[in-house]
Structures are given as structure tokens and as C-alpha cells.
Amino acid sequence: MQDISTRGFMQLLARYGAPDYFVTEFFRVHSTSRLDAEILSCLTHNETGRPVFAQIIGEDIPAMAAAARELARLPAAGVDLNLGCPAPKVFRKNVGGGLLRDLPQVDALLGALRDALPETKLTVKTRVGFDAAKDPPALFDTLLALVNKHGVDLLAVHGRTVRGLYRSAVDYAAIAHAVRTARCPVVANGDITSAAKAAHVAAETACAGLMAGRHAVRNPWLFRQIREHFAGLPVFRPTLADVRSYIGELAAMLRDSDPAVTSARLAARMKKFLNFVGAGVDPAGAFLAAMRRAEDEAALMQVCDTHLLAGDKAGELFADEPYAGAVSRPNCE
């Protein structure tokens, strides 16, 4: 996830209960681009103990193939093509989710990437379409046929269209259809909010795996909880004091990755994470409103102390599911 899945955050998350694999932020690839050094460090200095896939986004076929070849020489678990980014500034350039309007280009791109990666895993992260009201009826089936044609090794499906951003209902039936149609393992993505929801989606879709984005930022214990749930073990329930300690670790991680960061800049970086954490703190979104007003690190931490530790709050359980009224809805990926 852009601005979230940094090397430091992956390491931090791994301490709370790592997912089976990570995916980097996307490398934006075009004819004159070079692979971003910060994102590369997630591959070259991977201390998570888990494989890390490198995600690329772009539509320039020679440049994408060259980037894939370069990544294959690094310790990347595989190369992942982004076909889902819904940010208008991205899809208008016909990359990310924009490519779902041009499946002949996806065909050519997947062919070139497969050729560039004879011994490296090629994975795809996609949405189920561009715009449900305008897409040709067979769009998703055509995409799945391309996934099969080019021997894609794993497909992650975010069950929304590009126009659905993060708001529309997730179409788990479409993910189940992908599971039945694709010859590779299919990973279900979109609103895997809790261990209970993970079990529900796994049963409904028969997917090979589950992918979590925002909800693993809100609740870094999510992957551990999912494992415990599937193993029939008691599921860990963090308290608000545990969440306050996670927030402290986030701040320390951001400072470690940029020792010269100012207090105001650190607060701004923290808010990107707290926008998600806040969805589990209180139903009315009081924490979210207060933390957004904080202008420096000290003020932000004071807000966290007030909402997570003061009075009897420290011992309260962190909500399993996000509060509907408090979910943050970014408009870009």
C-alpha cells in the first residue's frame, strides 16, 4: 500500500503476526523511470522472515519487461502487476485500474512479463472491472482467460470495480467465480476486516488465500488472529492499551526510518496510519476527529493517551470490526 507498506512497517507488522507474504508499494514504471530506492530496500533488506513480492504499475511494455527482469535479479519472491489502482491521476494514464479498459494491452503486457520472468513468479492484483454500468459483460471473464493464457502464478482479486473505489460492496461472488475459472491460486481481497470475516469469505469463495490492506493497518494482530481462528485456538483480543503501544511503535518506526523528520512531519506521516487505526477506537469517530487536529507529535500522542489510556479505557477491548461511522475512505490507491 502506497505510503504504508514501507520496509519499516512490514518489519513492525511481522512482529505482531506476519502474513504469509508481503507485497511492496508499487514501482511506477515508464520509459525513463528507475526503480525507486526506498521500495527496493524492502527486497534487498527484507527482515520480515517472509517472502516479499515486488509490485509494478505501468503500461509501457518494454519498460515494464525491463523492470521485471531487473526485479527478478533481486531477492523478490515474484513480480506483481497492478491492475487495480483507482486514483484518477493513475487510471487516466491507462495504468493500474485504467488498464481494465484495454484488455488487448493487458494481453500484450502479460505476455511480455511472462517472457521476462521465465523462472520467477508472475502474479496479478486486479479489481473485477472498471465500471459495472459500462463494462462489456464479459470483461472479467476475458481477463481471467488472459490470466490462464499467460500462466500467471497467482491472482489476487479485490472484489470491487475501479469506480467502486473503497466504498462499494465487495463482490465475493465474482471472487468465487475467479476461483472456479483461474487455473492458478486466487487470493480474495476487500474488507477482510476480522478473523470471523476471513472465515466467512474463505467459505463463500473457496479462495486459496486472503489479502488484507487497511484492516491490517488498523489491527496489526489480524494475521495472527486469522491463523488462531483457523487453527481452532483462542483468538487474541488486544486492549486499547495494546493499541496505544502499537501507535508508539509506529512513531518509533517512522523516526528510525527518517531520523531528521520534524515533529510536524512525523505527525502527518502518523495520521496516514491512524486514519485506519481510528476506525476501531470509538463508534462516533471522536478519536479520528481529535487526532486530525493535532499538529505535532506531542499533541498527537496526547490525543492517543486521552482516547486510549485515560480513565478505564486502557483495559477496554479494541473492537474486532471497524465502526461503520469511523471508517476512513481514501480516494486513491
Ligand X SMILES: Cc1cc2nc3c(=O)[nH]c(=O)nc-3n(C[C@H](O)[C@H](O)[C@H](O)COP(=O)(O)O)c2cc1C
CB of 333 vs ligand X, minimal distance in Å: 4
- Coil, strand, or helix at residue 57? strand
**What end-to-end distance do the CA atoms of the chain give, in Å?**
7
User: Closest residue to ligand X, Cβ-based?
Assistant: 213
CB of 4 vs ligand X, minimal distance in Å: 6
Q: Is 85 a catalytic residue?
A: yes
Residue nearer to ligand X on the CB measure, 238 or 322: 322
CB of 136 vs ligand X, minimal distance in Å: 23
CB of 301 vs ligand X, minimal distance in Å: 23
Residue nearer to ligand X on the CB measure, 285 or 314: 285
State the Cα–Cα distance between residues 51 and 140, nearest whole angstrom: 29
State the Cα–Cα distance between residues 101 and 161, nearest whole angstrom: 11
CB of 1 vs ligand X, minimal distance in Å: 4
Residue nearer to ligand X on the CB measure, 121 or 241: 121
Of 85, 184, 207, 304, which is the active-site residue?
Answer: 85
CB atoms within 10 A of CB 21: 17
CB of 306 vs ligand X, minimal distance in Å: 26
Residue nearer to ligand X on the CB measure, 187 or 308: 187
Q: What is the DSSP string of 135-147?
A: S-TTHHHHHHHHH
Residue nearer to ligand X on the CB measure, 23 or 251: 23
Place of cell 475467479: 178
CB atoms within 10 A of CB 274: 25
Point out which residues bind ligand X (CB under 6 A). Answer: 1-2, 4, 25-26, 55, 82, 84, 125, 158, 166, 189-192, 212-215, 330, 333
Q: What is the DSSP string of 145-200?
A: HHHHHTT-SEEEEEEEESTTTTTSPP-HHHHHHHHHH-SS-EEEES---SHHHHHH
- Residue 271: burial class (beta carbons within 10 Å; 0-12, 13-18, 19+): middle
Residue nearer to ligand X on the CB measure, 27 or 318: 27
State the Cα–Cα distance between residues 205 and 63, nearest whole angstrom: 35
Q: Report which of 108, 84, 104, 109 is spatially closest to residue 96, judged by C-alpha positions.
A: 84
Active-site residue list: 85
